[in-house]
């Protein structure tokens, strides 16, 4: 009744993850390299544990879907509006110019017109999964080169529909109806995008708001999976990239109060399934075929990397970007992409590409993807060496400055009750950004209607804290009134961001002492502060000046701290705490 072959394949894939990823992390290298090398080892050309990679390719594709869904969640509409100049400017030109140049070179070498068109388009596209994942690992996805690279990749995903529809047109040049089919495919794609955007704006946020009433984490996780896969299936059904549909769904939720929690819920699925995708890329490298045509594969590989880097560099310079950014973007996108496997496979099925050409193209693309981590490392080092030479850096242009717009690091507030709202008001008064998390759906909804940056999410979960940007926060303020929740939240913050300043609301001196022993930079007893503020009001009524009151309160606050250190045990037991 059970397909033990599939179970064995899953066990093999999990074993690769458990063995290869820790090794490469210990070597301080990208885990992607571990997946790629593991894929080569278990693939048809070495151990042959999984003879046909198609058996896991369907699951692996969902890794790319969840990756783009997460990127959409992290991309506010304001930032996307800025990026539109790059998406439909440099992104469009990159696809067109690179396709033309590589297509003409292919024609000069093969003499095949239709095949050269497909080769040019296929090689012009880069690997969204590989580049975006590496940029996220390196923390560069929203830096200047990362944003430009992502803009180009986004337009490449949009180019999937016409590229796929073009293959049968080239295979049957005398069939006039294919042009109509191409137009229909494009219209279907546009309709799918409009449908997702319209449906999402009107239904998704209310739907998620209804689900959060139950406060069931499983329900929200199921909703995240449903939305991501549902949008991906819709665009896939009309011949578009599934990843594009997931990106649109994430984009819709980027401004919703559920963004942080959804991103955390998707993370485990994204990481594991994306690892499967990279493993299947490694399995596609046939060492026997590679050795038989090694000279041709290496020539194509070097030519592809050099030509794409040079063309993208020129296009970035045309958009008046600095040499450093242009070089980093060019090297980041020099590889072939996962879509080329689909496009070339379809062209082979309709006899548009000869098999001897496919045996050179596919290994070269797989190798170029395998070299991408090294290309990004080299690009980063070249960028650093260029930036050290001040005379070689051009000033930022308007478009580059818009894309780069480094935002001030926010303060993360955990709990948005009366104390959290007061802290938010103080930060607003000083024009300092903040992000707040709370598990009360109505409170979150009211705050967001006021334009406040408040999201639904648990401050105790490390994955939620990570998704909310705790590692890059200016400071963390824990305002939870539940003692155990405050302590658990502090522990989670310290595990995820050990160097970020953390300030905690404490119940009393004892609680404050315990929190500071657990890693808080400061813990303010709310009873003490209320007493000091009342005392200050009394002093003002007795005609004491504001300076005198301020100094007196500061002295009393310091004295209270000294008394706490002198008289309160380091670890009081429950009975002592009750007495105090």
Using only C-alpha atoms, the chain has a radius of gyration, in whole angstroms, of 28
Which residues sit opposite 478 in a β-bridge? 414, 504
CA geometry: angle at 200 spanning 198 and 205, to 5°? 140
The 8-class DSSP code of residue 43 comes to S
Q: How far apart are CA 103 and CA 116, in angstroms?
A: 5
Give the separation between CA 575 and CA 580, rounded to whole angstroms. 9
Number of other residues whose CB lies within 10 A of the CB of residue 579: 7
For 190, 261, 488, the CA distances from 196, given in Å and listed in that order, are 10, 21, 39
Class of domain 411-579: alpha beta
Quote the CA–CA distance of 119 and 311 in Å, as a whole number: 17
Q: How far is Cα 46 from Cα 288, in angstroms, rounded to an integer?
A: 9
pLDDT (0 to 100) of residue 53: 60
Q: Which two tokens stand for residue 241?
A: 């990239």
* Cβ count within 10 A of residue 210: 12
CA 250 to CA 68: how far, in whole Å?
8
Each of the 580 residues of the chain gets a pLDDT tens digit; together they read 455 666 777 788 788 878 887 887 787 767 777 888 888 888 777 887 776 666 666 777 777 788 778 777 766 666 667 677 888 889 999 999 999 999 999 999 988 888 899 999 999 999 888 888 888 777 777 677 888 898 898 888 778 767 877 777 777 765 555 566 667 766 776 777 777 777 766 777 777 777 776 667 678 778 878 888 888 888 878 766 677 788 888 877 777 778 777 877 777 777 777 777 778 777 877 787 778 888 999 999 999 999 999 999 999 999 888 888 898 899 999 999 878 877 887 788 778 888 788 888 988 888 898 888 888 888 877 766 544 444 333 434 444 444 344 445 788 999 888 888 888 887 887 788 888 998 888 888 888 888 888 888 888 888 788 878 888 888 898 988 788 888 888 999 998 888 889 988 887 777 777 888 888 888 877 766 666 666 666 777 667 787 887 787 777 766 655 544 443 344 344 333 333 3
DSSP class of residue 472? Answer: G
For 263-299, give one letter per residue: b (16+ CB within 10 A) or e: bbbbbebbbbbbbbbbbbbbbbbbeebbeebeebbee
Half-sphere exposure of 545 (CA within 13 A, CB side): 3
DSSP 154: H
* pLDDT score of 384: 61
The SS3 call for residue 455 is strand
- The size of the chain, in residues, is 580
Nearest CA to 458 out of 270, 268, 271, 265 is that of 265
What HEC string does 299-361 produce?
HHHHHHHHHHHHHHHHHHHHCCCCHHHHHHHHHHCCCCCHHHHHHHHHHHHCCCCCHHHHHHH
Q: Which two tokens stand for residue 164?
A: 């796929």
256 within 8 A of 77, measured Cβ to Cβ = no
The rounded distance, in Å, linking the Cα atoms of 313 and 308 is 8
For 260, the enclosing helix (H) or strand (E) is: helix 259-283
83/72 Cα distance (integer angstroms): 13
Contact predicate 192/236, CB 8 Å = no
Tokens describing residue 286: 């046939």
- What 3-state class would DSSP assign to 239? coil
Cβ-contact 511, 448 below 8 angstroms: no
The structural domains of the chain, with segments of one domain joined by +, span 61-401, 411-579
**Contact criterion met (CB below 8 Å) for 42 and 35:** no
Q: Which pLDDT value is given to residue 104?
A: 95
Only one residue has tokens 């496997």, namely 341
Quick one: tokens of 413? 């507030």
CATH fold of 61-401:
Na+/H+ antiporter like fold (1.20.1530)
Which ranges in 462-508 belong to alpha helices (H)?
Answer: 462-467, 483-496
Over the stretch 54-86, which tens digit does the pLDDT of each residue have?
Answer: 666 677 777 778 877 877 776 666 666 767 788
With both helix axes pointing from N to C terminus, report the angle between 372-388 and 31-42 in degrees, rounded to the nearest 10. 160
């Amino acid at each position: 009744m059970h397909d033990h072959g599939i179970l064995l394949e899953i066990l093999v894939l999990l074993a690769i993850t458990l063995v290869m990823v820790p090794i490469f992390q210990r070597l301080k290298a990208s885990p992607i390299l571990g997946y790629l090398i593991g894929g080569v080892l278990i693939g048809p050309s070495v151990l042959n544990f999984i003879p046909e990679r198609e058996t896991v390719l369907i699951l692996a594709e969902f890794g790319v879907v969840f990756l783009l869904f997460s990127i959409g969640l992290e991309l506010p509409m304001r930032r996307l509006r800025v990026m539109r100049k790059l998406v439909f400017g440099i992104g469009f030109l990159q696809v067109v110019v690179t396709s033309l140049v590589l297509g003409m070179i292919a024609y000069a070498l093969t003499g095949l017109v239709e095949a050269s068109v497909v080769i040019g388009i296929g090689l012009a596209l880069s690997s969204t999964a590989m580049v975006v994942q590496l940029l996220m690992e390196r923390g560069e996805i929203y830096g200047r080169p990362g944003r430009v690279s992502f803009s180009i990749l986004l337009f490449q995903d949009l180019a999937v529909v016409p590229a796929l529809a073009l293959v049968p047109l080239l295979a049957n040049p005398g069939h006039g109806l294919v042009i109509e089919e191409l137009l229909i495919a494009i219209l279907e794609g546009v309709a799918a995008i409009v449908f997702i955007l319209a449906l999402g704006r009107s239904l998704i946020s209310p739907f998620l708001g209804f689900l959060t009433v139950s406060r069931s984490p499983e329900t929200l996780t199921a909703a995240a999976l449903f939305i991501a896969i549902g949008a991906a299936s819709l665009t896939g059904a009309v011949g578009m990239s599934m990843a594009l549909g997931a990106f649109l769904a994430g984009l819709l939720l980027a401004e919703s109060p559920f963004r942080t929690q959804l991103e955390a819920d998707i993370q485990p699925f994204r990481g594991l399934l994306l690892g499967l995708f990279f493993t299947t890329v490694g399995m596609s490298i046939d060492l026997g075929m590679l050795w038989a045509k090694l000279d041709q594969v290496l020539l194509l590989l070097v030519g592809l990397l050099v030509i794409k880097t040079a063309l993208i560099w020129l296009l970035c310079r045309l958009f008046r970007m600095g040499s450093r950014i242009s070089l980093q973007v060019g090297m980041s996108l020099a590889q072939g992409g996962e879509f080329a496997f689909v496009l070339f496979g379809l062209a082979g099925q309709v006899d548009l590409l000869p098999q001897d050409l496919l045996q050179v193209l596919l290994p070269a693309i797989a190798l170029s993807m395998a070299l991408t981590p090294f290309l990004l490392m080299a690009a980063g080092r070249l960028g650093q060496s260029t930036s050290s030479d001040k005379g070689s850096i051009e000033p930022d242009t308007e478009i580059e400055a818009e894309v780069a717009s480094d935002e001030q690091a926010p303060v993360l507030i955990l709990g948005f009750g009366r104390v959290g709202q007061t802290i938010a008001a103080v930060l607003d008064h000083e024009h300092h950004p903040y992000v707040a998390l709370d598990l009360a759906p109505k409170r979150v909804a009211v705050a967001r209607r006021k334009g406040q940056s408040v999201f639904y999410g648990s401050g105790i979960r490390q994955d939620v804290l990570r998704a909310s940007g705790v590692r890059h926060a200016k400071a963390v303020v824990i305002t939870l009134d539940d003692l155990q929740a405050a302590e658990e939240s502090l522990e989670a913050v310290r595990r995820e961001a050990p160097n970020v300043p953390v300030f905690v609301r404490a119940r009393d001196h004892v609680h404050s002492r315990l929190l500071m022993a657990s890693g808080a930079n400061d813990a303010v007893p709310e009873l003490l502060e209320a007493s000091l503020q009342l005392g200050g009001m009394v002093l003002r009524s007795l005609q004491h000046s504001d300076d005198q009151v301020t100094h007196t309160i500061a002295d009393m606050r310091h004295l209270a701290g000294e008394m706490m250190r002198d008289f309160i045990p380091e670890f009081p037991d429950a009975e002592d705490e009750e007495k105090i």
